[in-house]
């Protein structure tokens, strides 16, 4: 039972354009959401997060949007850069330290 | 700070052998997590400890898997006997209240 779903295994975007990565969740108890970025042969690293009391959080080129009624969040990267090519994991927490991760989306930025 | 240290980085073993993965968390982090990454299921939480005590082991696949945390600076994940379907990348992460820091992972191949 996959409580956090990333339905797009891969995404290719041209450099300079917007990248949009999507994530859906099923557990209504989740109230904190995070995005992690993973390069090959490295562990995931924290990118950005959002609490359920907000619907948007922005950090430089990265913005996360949360739609609680749809149980959907998205990560926007603009403008996309070659260094953004990586696997992106969506994660959710019910307010404790336990994170449930999605299956990941491989983003490729085309120069 | 050296971050979360995992060893070995790669492990190739024959089916039926015992495998032990090791993790040294960041000093001062009081929670430690073991995750497994596969293509089909993404990052799955196997077990986590808080103050060296196992809190949730519901993700441990079966009795062949066991984990220990004898002190605040060391944890092991053991698979005995190993099977080909255990082949995956195993990550250890530790956290303070700020968030997770992952190690670089151990790539396990069981032949």
Shortest Cα–Cα distance, A44 to chain B (Å): 6
CA proximity to B99, closest of B36, B35, B27, B31? B31
**pLDDT tens for each residue of B1-23:** 679 999 999 999 999 999 999 99
pLDDT of residue A13: 98
CA A105 to chain centre: 9
Judge whether A48 and A38 are in contact, CB under 8 Å: no
Q: What are B45's two structure tokens? A: 């939480």
**pLDDT tens for each residue of B50-99:** 999 999 999 998 899 999 999 999 999 999 999 999 999 999 999 976 57
**pLDDT tens for each residue of A11-32:** 999 999 999 999 999 999 999 9
Q: With a CB-CB cutoff of 8 Å, which residues 90-109 of chain A face chain B?
A: 91, 97-104
- CB spacing of B42 vs A104 below 8 angstroms: yes
Compute φ and ψ for B35, nearest 5 degrees: -120, 155
pLDDT band at A86 (very low <50, low <70, confident <90, very high): very high
């Amino acid at each position: 039972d996959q409580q956090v779903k990333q339905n797009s295994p891969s995404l290719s975007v041209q450099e300079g354009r917007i990248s949009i990565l999507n994530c859906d969740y099923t557990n209504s108890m989740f109230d904190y959401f995070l995005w992690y970025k993973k390069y090959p042969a490295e562990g995931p690293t924290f990118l950005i997060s959002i609490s359920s009391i907000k619907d948007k959080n922005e950090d430089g080129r990265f913005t996360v949007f949360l739609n609680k009624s749809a149980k959907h969040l998205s990560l926007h990267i603009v403008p996309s850069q070659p260094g953004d090519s990586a696997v992106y994991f969506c994660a959710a927490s019910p307010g404790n330290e336990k994170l449930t991760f999605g299956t990941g989306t491989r983003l490729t930025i085309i120069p | 700070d050296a971050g979360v240290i995992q060893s070995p980085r790669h492990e190739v073993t024959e089916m039926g052998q015992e495998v032990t993965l090791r993790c040294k968390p960041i000093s001062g982090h009081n929670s430690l997590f073991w995750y497994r990454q596969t293509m089909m299921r993404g990052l799955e939480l196997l077990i986590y400890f808080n103050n060296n005590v196992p809190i949730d082991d519901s993700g441990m696949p079966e009795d062949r898997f066991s984990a220990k945390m004898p002190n605040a600076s060391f944890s092991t994940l053991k698979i005995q006997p190993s099977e080909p379907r255990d082949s995956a990348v195993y990550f250890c992460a530790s956290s303070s209240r700020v968030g997770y820091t992952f190690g670089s992972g151990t790539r396990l191949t069981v032949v």
